[in-house]
Amino acid sequence: MSEPAQVIALEEIDSTNLEARRRLEAGESAPFWVTARRQTAGRGRRGRSWDTREGNLAATLLMTTDRAPIEAAQVAFVAALAVHDLACGFVPPSLVSLKWPNDTLIAGRKASGVLVESGGLDERRIWLAVGIGVNLAHAPKDVERPATCLADHMRAPPPPPHEAMRRLAEAFETWRGLWDRVGFSAIAEAWTRRAHGLGARCQARLPNQTLEGVAEGMDEDGALRLRLDDGTLRRITAGDVFF
């Protein structure tokens, strides 16, 4: 993906990820962003719903790649770094951190989410729908993890979604370019410098078990290194982590 991605701005849609896939199937040329002022059926990771109220940012980048699927999934960390940059433009950077794998936290509370979906285009290429939700003006209540929004940490009004979209797209392209030129090791290093909870105890909830231990760091393929209480080192490649 070298050419700039156009931004398709909509008033209301069920899901920006779904709309991006529909447009690709209808012949829209990738890359492109889909953003909407309101989502009626936004989705997060592992089938959770994602509440997008007006004033928040909901966006999906539809891109194609010839990377292998396991390598292409690293784009989630690229997205997390882009959201981190966006947040640091409006709130004190000392408050902003990243929690494995791709949550941006402000003062320890979840302020964004990333959902990456993919599928085959032909024998060589796959498509990636990189869905990003950022709490700009509102934070959801009664959620599994304490949430916050940029407005909670600003004296001025939060950025309007169109301004946040512009900054997000620019930051994403910067990190994506680094990923392409240098490889994922540069993304992993940048992510680690911004990481929340490394060296701290955490609980990793996997599809079929729950593990507890100390988060030691992230491997160069994106896996979280978790040191269990019996000294065993486990590599976590998918799941939810709670500190």
pLDDT of the residue at 82: 98
pLDDT of the residue at 123: 84
Write down the domain spans for the chain: 6-193, 201-242
Per the structure block, which two tokens stand in for 124? 């060589």
How many Å apart are CA 234 and CA 225, to the nearest integer? 6
pLDDT of the residue at 42: 67
CATH class of 201-242: mainly beta
pLDDT of the residue at 148: 96
Residues in Cβ contact with 25 at an 8 Å cutoff, skipping those fewer than 6 apart: none
| Helix-strand-coil split of the chain, %, nearest 5 | 30, 35, 35
pLDDT of the residue at 139: 93
The vertex-129 CA angle with 126 and 132, nearest 5°, equals 155
CATH code reported for the domain at 6-193: 3.30.930.10
CA distances, 114 to each of 13, 55, 154, 164, 206 (Å): 18, 18, 23, 15, 18
The vertex-192 CA angle with 107 and 75, nearest 5°, equals 100
**Which string of DSSP letters, residue by residue, matches 185-223?**
HHHHHHHHHTBSSTTSEEEEE-SS-EEEEEEEEE-TTSP
Give the chain's residues under pLDDT 70. 1-3, 42-51
Taking residue 29's Cβ as centre, other Cβ atoms within 10 Å add up to: 11
Residue whose token pair is 């979840």: 110
pLDDT in tens, 121-141: 888 999 999 999 999 999 988
pLDDT of the residue at 51: 67
How many Å apart are CA 58 and CA 96, to the nearest integer? 20
The vertex-209 CA angle with 207 and 214, nearest 5°, equals 110
How many Å apart are CA 30 and CA 126, to the nearest integer? 11
Inter-residue contact 62 to 32 (CB < 8 Å): yes
Residue 161: strand, helix, or coil: helix
pLDDT in tens, 201-214: 999 999 889 999 99
Taking residue 78's Cβ as centre, other Cβ atoms within 10 Å add up to: 27
